[in-house]
Every structure is written in structure tokens, then in C-alpha cells.
């Protein structure tokens, strides 16, 4: 028997899922060694993004065995000690980073609105588990609960499919030591994933990911794991959603008008119910909803990719906005942690970039909060505009590596009070004078704030496009655009990065490349990361592989000084850079 067939037989013997057992048995019976190699010659690697991959049998797929192993590894790491240690920060930083709510290391001492007896710091370590409406998500959540309770931990499971920001909020609200969200966010329907949070309510970082991965490697057969059963874990009720909505009351919305009409889509995901309740609670009119995309559907039948950034993904909501005469179109991705915005313009509806929304929300938050200790954060691939906004408003500014796991750990001083963080990929976390209530991107909270901003502009006879022009006049025009290239073979991405390092381009879009930064060596005090940054006069390009999809992602920015507000000229320069970069990469 070959090693592949032996590994498949061993997997088959422990797999509790009749569907993946049948899939694997069919491959064994057919002698399909290529398909077996695809599933067993490699495996999904647990990292700072947790796990994410295609559903199916074998260690290189998302399935019940993979999830149970991950849960057992997480439980082992929690039981190994100090569940309050922060990923990649010193003990002092850990305390300061989580002091915004007055509790050390993100542990709740009181859980208003939560079930009795769930305060952190007592008894066994605990894990709160959420899930979206994708194929397999609920079962993966229940498997996680069974494994962690079988290992002797406490577990709380969300009452139904809910947005990722509700889970991220619940970690701190319940005083849990960790959180798990079963979701693949905006990936294609064939995928699912497993995102892990620590006791501070933020996603895990190095070295914690490696410690959990090592614990997963030590897990034996899953059919030999001790398992809890229903009744051993707590199924939460709607109080947890209500507590999240109460927390959103802390957003700086007071005094803003509410006269704004919105067209909305949850994009076949789980955002609709919570967003409707959040809007009603804040006094906004109920949005018009895209009927074809209103209900959760794990097959995402109306979009090629359920990602608001993808071309065509927002066509239905913009069409609804046009029909209803809406002021604004808003989309959440399927797990509602991202928020996309479209507005009417002279040439019809257009989507705003994540950087445009980030700049607008940053100034909105800074106008409605106070204090020189306020901190705003973005990533090295996002627009440089936020730094200029922070300087003008006299607040602290930090850059982080890509992803909210880094944004929520960024600090410039021990007493930083983060009130805003964003990344260009439509992710935003914002708060009032008490800091951010959710330590991850929050598409519901962002939708509330952008509605308030649009209502303010409408009251003054203006639009979000007018506000963008105001920013260009104040800070200079900052125009950004992505170049994302999807591949079937990730080795092509590694090859492209090697070529760029060996022979970087000398010019792009007619601009001389004056400097190349290899981000694997670290940059500006940040940890090393896979990527390159190319600098040109008045322009910048960052190139990096995606951490969750088989994509090479490039982030382009052209900056014109205040007074030079020629968007057409800047757009032509941006497109020229994009064209030359695509030719240099040679991946299409």
C-alpha cells in the first residue's frame, strides 16, 4: 500500500463525517492517486489567520477532522498556561493595550447583559465560539465545543449564524480566554475557515500561532479525543447580540442627523438582521435591501466571488439604490466584518475605495472625539493620507503590517487610546472617547458611521464626493488602486517575487523607481513580512502575496500636493503604473 493510500485509510477510520468518508472512499476505490495527493501530500497550515481552505476530505482540506484537531490544539495551548499573555508584546504592553475598558489583559470582571457566572478570571479557561452560514460552519462550531469541553474547558456557542464582529466583541464581554469564529469571510463557496482570537478580543499573532500549531501537531486520532456533549457547553441567547448593539452606542453618532436613505446588501451572508437592529437603535431609517441577496445562502448564487471588492459584486445593490433614489449604497461581506460603500456621481453610481472610506471615517471620528492620546492606525499597504490627517488633528498615528491582527496591537505610547483603525480592504474599527468596542474590523459599526457622515453631508447640501474633494484640497490628492492577480499555482507567486527581488523595475508608469524596500528585512520598526515596496516621486507600490487566497496583491498610490487636484491626471499616472507593473509581473 502506498503512503498516500495508507494515510487516506487512517483518515477514513477516524473521520466522523459520512460525506467526507464517502468522498474519500470513492477516491480510494477509483485509484485516483492525483486526487489523493492533492488532499494528503500537504496540509492546511495553522497561522495568524488560523485555517482557511477548500472543504473536503484530508489534511489539506477543511473538514471535521481538521477542525477537531485545531480545537484540541487550541485547548492544549490554553491549558498549558497564561491564557492572558499577549501575542508579540511585552507584559507591560499587554496591560496598556487592553486598559481601554479598565480591565487588565482584556479580561472582563463584569459581564452586564451576559449569562450569570461567566465573568472571566474564575474557574477553567473558556472559549466562545461563533459561526457564519457557510457549508459546515455550524457543525464545525459544535465539534469545537465538544472538543474543548471534553478537554476540560468551558465553552459558549453563539445562538445562530452571526457576524464576525459579534464574536470578536463577545470574547471580552464574556471574559473568555479565547474565541473561535468559523468563517471563510468573502472566499468562494467551496471554502471555509477557522479564525482564532485571544483573551484581548483581537486575532492571534506570532508566536502564539506557532505554539497552537505545535499543539495541533501533537494531537492524535480525533476518534480517541474525549468529547463533551450538548449540555456541557452553554448556548448563548440573544442577550449577546443585544450587548454588542449596546456597545455600538459608544460610537460617536450623537448629534448627527438621521435623514439618509440607504440601499443595502448582506451579500448572501449573516449581516442583515444585526444591521437592521443597529440602524433602528441608532434612529436611522430602515435600509432598502437587495431581495436576491437578503437571506444567507452558502452557495452565493448571484456573485462569482462574495467579496464587495470584486468587479460586479455590488451591481445589484447599486441598481437598487438607483431605483429607490437612495443617497448611499452599502454592502457587507458574508460575515459582515467588511463594509463597502457606493455613491451617486455625475457619471452614475461608483464604489468608493477602502482608502477613500478610511479617510472619511477617520476625520468623522476625530471631529467627534477629544484628546491628544487618541490613536489612529492603518497598514503599510493603505494610503498615506491617514498620517496627514492625524498630524492635522494633533493625534497619534501608527502603521502596522497588513491585517487587523496587527492594527489592534499597534502602539506609539503606553497610554494610546485607539479610536480608529482601518485597512484598504474595506475593514474598519472605530469608537468614541472610550476607544473601539470591537478589536477587529466591524462592518456593522462602519455602516452606522458612514450613514451618519452621509446624513451630515446631506444636511449641509453636500455629498461624500464633496468631502473627498475637501480632503484633497487640505492634504493633497491621494489616489490608490489595487492590482490583484489570482493564480492556480501558488508557486507562480513565489517565482514572481523572486524575479522582482533579483531584477526590480527601474521605472513604472514613466516614473523612476528610486528605492526598493525588501519587507522581509523589516521596515520602520515593524516585524519582517513577505513583500516589496517600490518608491517613485509622488508614488508608491507595495507587492505582497495574499495570506488567505492564491493571489498576488499590489497596492498602488499616487500623491499630488495640495492645490493640484487634477484627478484625471493622477488616475492616468496610476493606470500607467498598473499597466507596467502587470507586464513586469507576467502572471497573466
What lies within 8 Å, CB to CB, of 187 at 6+ separation is: 52, 193, 305, 306, 548, 549
* H helix count then E strand count, the chain: 18, 22
Q: Which three cell numbers stand for residue 304?
A: 462569482
Q: Which three cell numbers stand for residue 168?
A: 470578536
In angstroms, the CA 397 to CA 71 distance is 37
Q: Which three cell numbers stand for residue 512?
A: 523612476
Instruction: Judge whether 135 and 192 are in contact, CB under 8 Å.
Output: yes
Instruction: Judge whether 554 and 581 are in contact, CB under 8 Å.
Output: yes
- List the 288-289 sheet strands across, edge first: 288-289, 262-265, 328-332, 339-345, 348-351
- Helix residue ranges, H only, 427-505: 443-459, 464-475, 490-502
- Helix residue ranges, H only, 271-370: 272-282, 315-324, 354-367
What lies within 8 Å, CB to CB, of 374 at 6+ separation is: 366, 395, 396, 417, 418, 419
Locate cell 509581473: which residue? Answer: 585
Locate cell 526590480: which residue? Answer: 504
Which one, of 127, 192, 146, 553, lies nearest residue 382 by Cα?
553
**Which one is catalytic: 42, 90, 185, 400?**
185
Locate cell 464576525: which residue? Answer: 164
Q: What angle do CA 580, 583, 585 make, to 5 degrees?
A: 110
Instruction: Judge whether 128 and 170 are in contact, CB under 8 Å.
Output: yes
How many CA atoms lie less than 13 Å away from 187 in the CB half-sphere? 25
Instruction: Judge whether 540 and 533 are in contact, CB under 8 Å.
Output: yes
In angstroms, the CA 59 to CA 63 distance is 8
Which one, of 190, 444, 428, 194, lies nearest residue 306 by Cα?
190
Q: Is 185 one of the catalytic residues?
A: yes
Which one, of 160, 154, 161, 159, lies nearest residue 176 by Cα?
154
The span from the first CA to the last CA of the chain, in angstroms, equals: 40
In angstroms, the CA 266 to CA 107 distance is 32
Q: CB count, 10 Å around CB of 498?
A: 10
From the number of C-beta atoms within 10 Å of its C-beta (0-12, 13-18, 19+), residue 92 rates as exposed
User: If phi over 0 gives left and psi between -120 and 50 gives alpha, with beta otherwise, what is residue 268?
Assistant: left
Query: Among all residues, which ones are annotated catalytic?
Result: 185
Amino acid at each position: 500500500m502506498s503512503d498516500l493510500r495508507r494515510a487516506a485509510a487512517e483518515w477514513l477510520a477516524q473521520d466522523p463525517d459520512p460525506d467526507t468518508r464517502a468522498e474519500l472512499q470513492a477516491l480510494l476505490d477509483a485509484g485516483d492517486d492525483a486526487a489523493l495527493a492533492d488532499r494528503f501530500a500537504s496540509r492546511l497550515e495553522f497561522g495568524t489567520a488560523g485555517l482557511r481552505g477548500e472543504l473536503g476530505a484530508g489534511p489539506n482540506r477543511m473538514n471535521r477532522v481538521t477542525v477537531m484537531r485545531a480545537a484540541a490544539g487550541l485547548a492544549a495551548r490554553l491549558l498549558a498556561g497564561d491564557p492572558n499573555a499577549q501575542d508579540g508584546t511585552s507584559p507591560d504592553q499587554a496591560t496598556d493595550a487592553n486598559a481601554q475598558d479598565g480591565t487588565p489583559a482584556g479580561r472582563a470582571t463584569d459581564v452586564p447583559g451576559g449569562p450569570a457566572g461567566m465573568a472571566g478570571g474564575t474557574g477553567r479557561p473558556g472559549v466562545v465560539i461563533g459561526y457564519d452560514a457557510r457549508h459546515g460552519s455550524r457543525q464545525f462550531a459544535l465539534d469545537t465545543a465538544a472538543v474543548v469541553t471534553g478537554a476540560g474547558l468551558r465553552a459558549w456557542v453563539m445562538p445562530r449564524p452571526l457576524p464576525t464582529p459579534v464574536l470578536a466583541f463577545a470574547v471580552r464581554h464574556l471574559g473568555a480566554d479565547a474565541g473561535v469564529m468559523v468563517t471563510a469571510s468573502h472566499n468562494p463557496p467551496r471554502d471555509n475557515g477557522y479564525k482564532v482570537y485571544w483573551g484581548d478580543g483581537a486575532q492571534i499573532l506570532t508566536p502564539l500561532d506557532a505554539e497552537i500549531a505545535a499543539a495541533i501537531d501533537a494531537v492524535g486520532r480525533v476518534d480517541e479525543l474525549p468529547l463533551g456533549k450538548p449540555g456541557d457547553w452553554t448556548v448563548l441567547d440573544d442577550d449577546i447580540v443585544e450587548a454588542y448593539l449596546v456597545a455600538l452606542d459608544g460610537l460617536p453618532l450623537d448629534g448627527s442627523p438621521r435623514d439618509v436613505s440607504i440601499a443595502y446588501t448582506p451579500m448572501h451572508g449573516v449581516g442583515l438582521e444585526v444591521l437592521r437592529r443597529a440602524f433602528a437603535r441608532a434612529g436611522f431609517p430602515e435600509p432598502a435591501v437587495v431581495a436576491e441577496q437578503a437571506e444567507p445562502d452558502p452557495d452565493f448564487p448571484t456573485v462569482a466571488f462574495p467579496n464587495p471588492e470584486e468587479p460586479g459584486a455590488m451591481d445589484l445593490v447599486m441598481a437598487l439604490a438607483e431605483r429607490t433614489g437612495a443617497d448611499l449604497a452599502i454592502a457587507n461581506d458574508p460575515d459582515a466584518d467588511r463594509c463597502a460603500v457606493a455613491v451617486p456621481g455625475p457619471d452614475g453610481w461608483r464604489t468608493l475605495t477602502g482608502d477613500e472610506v478610511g479617510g472619511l471615517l477617520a476625520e468623522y471620528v476625530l471631529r467627534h472625539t477629544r484628546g491628544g492620546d487618541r490613536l489612529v492606525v492603518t497598514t503599510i499597504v493603505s494610503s498615506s493620507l491617514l498620517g496627514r490627517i492625524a498630524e492635522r488633528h494633533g493625534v497619534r498615528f501608527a502603521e502596522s503590517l497588513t491585517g487587523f491582527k496587527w492594527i489592534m496591537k499597534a502602539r506609539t505610547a503606553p497610554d494610546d487610546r485607539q479610536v480608529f483603525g482601518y485597512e484598504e480592504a474595506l475593514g474598519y474599527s472605530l469608537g468614541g472617547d472610550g476607544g473601539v468596542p470591537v478589536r477587529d474590523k466591524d462592518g456593522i459599526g462602519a455602516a452606522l458611521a458612514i450613514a451618519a457622515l452621509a446624513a451630515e453631508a446631506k444636511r449641509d447640501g453636500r455629498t461624500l464626493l464633496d468631502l473627498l474633494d475637501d480632503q484633497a484640497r487640505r492634504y493633497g490628492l491621494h489616489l490608490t488602486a489595487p492590482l490583484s492577480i489570482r493564480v492556480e499555482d501558488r508557486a507562480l507567486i513565489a517565482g514572481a517575487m523572486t524575479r522582482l527581488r533579483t531584477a526590480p523595475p527601474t521605472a513604472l508608469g514613466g516614473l523612476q523607481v528610486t528605492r526598493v524596500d525588501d519587507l522581509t528585512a523589516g521596515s520602520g520598526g515593524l516585524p519582517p513580512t513577505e513583500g516589496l515596496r517600490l518608491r517613485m516621486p509622488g508614488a508608491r507600490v507595495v507587492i505582497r502575496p495574499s495570506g488567505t487566497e492564491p493571489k498576488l496583491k499590489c497596492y498602488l498610490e499616487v500623491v499630488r500636493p495640495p492645490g493640484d487636484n487634477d484627478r484625471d491626471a493622477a488616475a492616468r499616472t496610476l493606470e500607467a503604473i498598473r499597466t507596467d507593473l502587470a507586464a513586469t509581473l507576467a502572471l497573466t
